[in-house]
Structure 1
Amino acid sequence: MKNSLIIALDFPDKNDVYGFIKKFNNEQLFVKVGMELFYKEGPAMVQELKEMGHDIFLDLKLHDIPNTVGRAMRNLASLGCDLVNVHAAGGKEMMVAALEGLEAGTALGAKRPKIIAVTQLTSTSEEQMKGEQLISVSLEQSVLHYAKVTQDAGLDGVVCSSNEVKLIREQLGEQFLTVTPGIRMSSESVGDQKRVATPEFARNAGVSMIVVGRSITRAEDPVLAYQLYKNAWEGKVYETKNS
């Protein structure tokens, strides 16, 4: 699972998803199913993608009382996802309940999905965090604190920006997963993201997995865009067929 490039399937319905997936000629992908798609198509979308052989990050960012999150995770475990998440702001007790629910819902003999916690969204700036969340420490300190609580709860890692990964690595170790969205090529617009990084920066920072959405899904040639990102992430030079 480490060193994966995850494609965010931020599409309104399954027809768009299948049209996109078809372009890859049965290549096995690691894809993210988020709220937009899941709320429209439901669990069947995840199950169908798994039947096609793809790895799934189910990105629902659960955040509720411990009992509710634990029960929800028990149900989500039956879908066979590879990666799921919660909000670290829900607290340690909630995260422990999420992990327990996930373990209870995983079929006997099956591998439990990895579970990570969102720290601060990559669309959040330090000014927003301080002004709207009333958190007085730096954004980096906030992310590290959430990461420590997440590790204490027994979860596998966190969602954060590439900027905070080095500090997390130093204090929480190499095995703790860091999954980072907000990945852009240097020539691209950052859109609604605030804390962005290139694939090369993410790799050098020690990121475990990167998530790329619109830069691939809305590209004129999604397969080429995916290959460019994948090779940049893996430190390879992409050669076109005409070179």
Structure 2
Amino acid sequence: MNNQPIIALDFPDRLSMSHFFTFFPKQEKLFVKVGMELFYKEGPQVVEQLIDQGHSVFLDLKLHDIPHTVYRAMRNLGKLGVSITNVHASGGIEMMRAAKEGLLEGAQESGKKERPKLIAVTQLTSTSEEMMQKEQKIPLGLLECVLSYAQLTAKAGLDGVVCSALEAKDIHSQTHPDFICLTPGIRLIEDNNGDQKRVVTPDQARALTANYIVVGRPITKAQQPYEKYQQINQLWNGEK
């Protein structure tokens, strides 16, 4: 289990992100997620800025393409110094292995000491079983599908998966105890679920053996983001 909740910096631009950080003590070193919205607007520079400030970064771009394209893209991303990045497990074993190869090569070329972790998305936490079966035409139960993707990811040699905390125990039992389950869809009891379908609270995620939690709107949309972050951090770490 990682003892810091990962804050999803789902902001439209660097200015909005910088304003959010004014609510936090300057010396606070955070674990943050940079997703498509911010990365596509600001580019790799925003990742480099966050790392230079001492923050750890989960770069959430969910690559999904032919193996060669993913290999080349991951080779570039590996040079940034991120802690974690990801692909879609549905891209298959060959693509995932190519992604890992490119990521490691990029990190080595840049002289990064820490090897970035590479994980794969199983099913988005905004996906319900009914959606998966009707829209994706996957004739499986949701858990069965997630477990299948997790086993495929482990076979490809990746470090873990993005999944709902509801699936973490089963994934660990079907892969290995060190296999990472990084879990979005984290909400407090009083929060609105928004577009998330498979949600749990931070303390529930801990009990369900999640290794990382990603929290966005409950923190970023709060009137007092730092106080909300501390509350979530305490629940995640089992503190009263």
Superposed displacement of residue 2, structure 1: 2.6
| Aligned twin of 1:207 | 210
Note closer, same or farther for the CA distance 1:199–1:109 as it changes in structure 2 (3 Å cut). closer
1:134-153 mapped onto 2 (5 Å cutoff): 134-153=137-156
Same amino acid, percent of matched pairs: 57
Q: CA RMSD in A?
A: 1.0
Q: Secondary structure at the match of 1:4?
A: coil
Describe the SS at the equivalent of 2:174.
helix
Change (3 A) 1:140 1:3: farther
Give the aligned partner of residue 123 of structure 2.
120
Aligned to 1:165: 168
Counterparts of 1:177-192 in structure 2, within 5 Å, are 177-192=180-195
Structure 1 residue 189, shift from structure 2 partner: 1.0
Q: 1:109 to 1:18 in 2, by over 3 A?
A: closer
Runs of 4+ with >6 A deviation? none
Distance of 2:106 and 2:22 partners within structure 1: 32
Asked whether 1:55 is paired with 2:56, we answer yes
Contact 1:30 1:54 in 2 (8 A): yes
User: Is the contact between residue 71 and residue 103 of structure 2 (CA under 8 Å) also seen in structure 1?
Assistant: yes
Q: Equivalents in 2 of 1:88, 1:231: separation in Å? A: 32
The verdict on how the C-alpha distance between 1:211 and 1:115 changes in structure 2, with shifts beyond 3 A counting, is same
- 2:92 maps to amino acid: G
Deviation at 1:109, TM superposition (A): 5.6
Matched, 1:12 2:15: no
Task: Give the direction of change, closer, same or farther, for the CA distance of 1:191–1:110 in structure 2 (3 Å limit).
Answer: same
Counterpart in the other structure of 2:40:
39
d(CA) in 1 for partners of 2:231, 2:2: 19
- The whole-number CA distance in structure 1 between the counterparts of 2:73 and 2:230 is 35
What displacement does 1:25 show? 1.6
TM-score, with structure 1 as normaliser: 0.96
Q: How many angstroms apart in 2 are the aligned matches of 1:109 and 1:179?
A: 23
Distance 1:2 1:230 in 2: 11
Q: How far has the Cα of 1:199 moved from its partner?
A: 0.7
Task: Write the distance in 2 (CA, Å) between the matches of 1:111 and 1:29.
Answer: 17
AA paired with 1:25? P
- Measured against aligned partners, the alpha-carbon deviations of 1:2-30 in whole angstroms (never above 9, x if no partner) come to 34310000000001111111221220000
- 8 Å Cα contact 1:4-1:208 kept in structure 2: no
What is the letter of the counterpart of residue 146 of structure 1? Y
The DSSP-based 3-state class of the residue aligned with 2:172 is helix
**Distance (Å, rounded) in 2 between the aligned partners of 1:2 and 1:83:** 12
Number of aligned residue pairs: give it.
237
The answer for the alignment partner of 1:75 in structure 2 is: 76
In structure 2, C-alpha distance between the alignment counterparts of 1:40 and 1:74, rounded to whole Å: 21
User: How many Å separate the matches in 2 of 1:47 and 1:116?
Assistant: 21
Deviation at 1:216, TM superposition (A): 0.1
167-176 vs 49-58, which deviates more? 167-176
2:193 aligned partner, one-letter code: V
**Corresponding residue for residue 92 of structure 2:** 91
Alignment partners' CA distance in 2, 1:220 and 1:191 = 18
**Which one-letter code corresponds to 1:85 in the other structure?**
N
Provide structure 1 residue ranges, at least 5 long, that are not aligned to the other structure. 238-243
Kindly provide the amino acid, as one letter, of the partner of residue 16 in structure 1: S
* Other structure's SS at 2:51 match: helix
Please, which runs of 5 or more residues in structure 2 have no aligned partner?
none
Distance 1:98 1:158 in 2: 14
TM-score, reference length from structure 2: 0.97
Match of 2:234 in 1: 231
Give 1:108 shift: 3.6
Secondary structure (helix, strand or coil) at the match of 1:169 reads helix
